[in-house]
Amino acid sequence: MIRFYHVFKSYNRDAYSLSDVSLSVRPGSFVFLTGASGAGKTTLLKLIIREEVPNKGQILVNGQNVASLPVTKIPRLRRSIGVVFQDFKLIRTKTVFENVTFVLKTLGFDLKERRRKAFSVLKQVGLQHKTHCYPLQLSGGEQQRVAIARAIVNDPVLLLADEPTGNLDPDMANEIMNLFSKINMHGTTVLVATHDRDMIQRMSHRVITLHQGRLVHDTLPQGRLDSH
């Protein structure tokens, strides 16, 4: 699903945010990406959705070479990837329904189909009764669930989450992670960037650790190193 080949990324000449990172994520897997603040987690996610371009190396996402992807094809790539952010990134002036169905609207789905899909994903995240609420009328956990609903409404093959539980209390964080597991069980590849070690230990999934832009550990749940 995702392959990095000796990827380098720097925002200035002095330091690399990512340095010689090579990794592989299989379709349908659930992977944690961890490391201290500034380790390069967010940069790695940004490279996957082509928000940033690597200085060196190649990145394959679902068979597409993201580094050399023409600009006109970026929206299509992003529509195949669901992204969940720490700060939710919901449009405040749109209702829950509008936020969730926005991407469907840009893809030309009619209202009936948008309603059907939105109801289905909002039910999955337990917010089917809040379709007409605005983001600021919801709690942090509810907002994050709306963001997840928006990320999965288009049936993406890959779901990326950048510190999705960073702003939530432990109970809500558990609930959100259980939701990711459920999504993963339906076949979606899930990559979650987090520095919450307790959460990682509880979930028992593959863990990729970055430190100062370098990949320092790639650990399977059993504790052995992954050759990919």
Partner 1 sequence: MLQFLFFCFSEGLTNLWRSRVLNLLSIGTMMLAIFILGAFLLLGTNLNRALAHWERQIQFHVFLSDAVTPEQTDNLLGLLRSDPSVASARLIDKAEARKRFDDDYADYADISQNMEINPFPASIQVALASGADESRFRQLQDKLKKQAGVEEIHYDFELFKRLHFFSEFIQWTAYLLCGIVVFASIFTISNVLKLTFFSRRDEVDIMKLVGASRAYIRGPFMVEGMLQGLFGAGMGLVLLFLALFTLQNYLNWDTNSLLGQFDLVFLNPGTIWILLGGGCLVGLFGAAISLNQFLHEHISYQ
Residues near partner 1 (CB under 8 A): 49-53, 71, 74-81, 83, 89-91, 93, 102-103, 105-106, 108, 150
Q: Which residue has the tokens 């320092």?
A: 216
Tokens of 93: 């002036």
Nearer to partner 1, 77 or 157 (CB): 77
Instruction: Return d(Cα 169, Cα 47) in angstroms, integer.
Output: 29
Closest CA to 143 of 166, 120, 160, 159: 166
* Residue 228 CB, nearest approach to partner 1 (Å): 27
* Residue 84 CB, nearest approach to partner 1 (Å): 11
Nearer to partner 1, 83 or 199 (CB): 83
Residue 219 CB neighbours (<10 A): 17
Residues ≥6 apart with Cβ < 8 Å to 76: none
Nearer to partner 1, 192 or 215 (CB): 192
* Residue 154 CB, nearest approach to partner 1 (Å): 8
Is residue 9 within 8 Å of residue 18, measured between CB atoms? yes
Nearer to partner 1, 103 or 190 (CB): 103
Distance linking the first and last C-alpha atoms of the chain: 12
Is residue 220 within 8 Å of residue 25, measured between CB atoms? no
Nearer to partner 1, 151 or 215 (CB): 151
* Residue 197 CB, nearest approach to partner 1 (Å): 28
Q: How is residue 25 annotated by DSSP?
A: E
* Residue 153 CB, nearest approach to partner 1 (Å): 10
Nearer to partner 1, 81 or 199 (CB): 81
Closest CA to 145 of 110, 117, 181, 172: 172
3, exposed or middle or buried, with CB in 10 Å at 0-12, 13-18, 19+? middle
Instruction: Return d(Cα 84, Cα 109) in angstroms, integer.
Output: 22
* Residue 107 CB, nearest approach to partner 1 (Å): 8
